[in-house]
Amino acid sequence: MMTMEGPIARWYTRLRGTGPQREAYRKQAAALTDGLADGAAVLELAPGPGFLAIEIARLGRYPVSALDISRTFVDIVAEQAAAADVRVDVRHGDAAEMPFPADSFDLIVCQAAFKNFTRPGKALDEIHRVLRPDGTAVIEDMNHLATATDIDREVASMRLNRINGAMTRRTLHGLRRRAYSPDRFEELATDSAFGGATIRAEGISLEVVLRKADAGRSLPA
């Protein structure tokens, strides 16, 4: 898996930590946990600076964990969580070999990172392994079919300064080349332990929802 370390990771943290983006993370935390029972265990996979995990922890209803292969981001998540006075159990590790027992989490979230995984099929199988029966994983990433106009619109919504906006736009154009199309991700999910997924594409974004079946639940007649 590709990883950011050192000054690049710190720059990315500043880039993603603006006021408007923090507000977006707060809204995402509320939307992703809507209907989730109190006490449900949540994992953010490849959290980067961990802003989403921190906003979920701020809700005060769920134990939250985070796993990243970047040692710098592990440190940053710990720093940011301490500054926010919330608890996030942050670990260093690979999405394809998670350091968690089977059936550990009710919700797993991965944002803007899955396209960087070098063993995506193994990562999906690992997500399935550590999910509890009836658990859900939500992967949000870039859509390979996004247009230049979609990218321009997304960067404008970030309200960055001119230099950071230009750098982000150039970065997104590069990332689009290795992002998944809906059809390609559907193939990957079908070949995984999940056996399929619900996929929605809109503009720059690709949202993939995977559910782990409850093996003990009887099938309808």
pLDDT per residue as tens digits for the range 100-149:
999 999 999 999 899 999 999 999 999 999 999 999 999 999 888 776 77
Both tokens assigned to 95: 């999405």
**With contact defined as beta carbons under 8 Å apart, do 59 and 32 qualify?**
no
pLDDT of res. 215 = 67
**With contact defined as beta carbons under 8 Å apart, do 141 and 112 qualify?**
yes
**155: pLDDT strictly greater than 80:** no
Rounded to two decimals, the pTM is: 0.83
Report the DSSP pairing between strands 42-45 and 64-68. parallel
Select the more confidently predicted residue: 168 or 92.
Answer: 92
Select the more confidently predicted residue: 205 or 91.
Answer: 91
Both tokens assigned to 53: 């995990």
Nearest CA to 180 out of 143, 147, 150 is that of 143
Q: Round the average pLDDT of the chain to a whole number and report it.
A: 88
**With contact defined as beta carbons under 8 Å apart, do 89 and 57 qualify?**
no
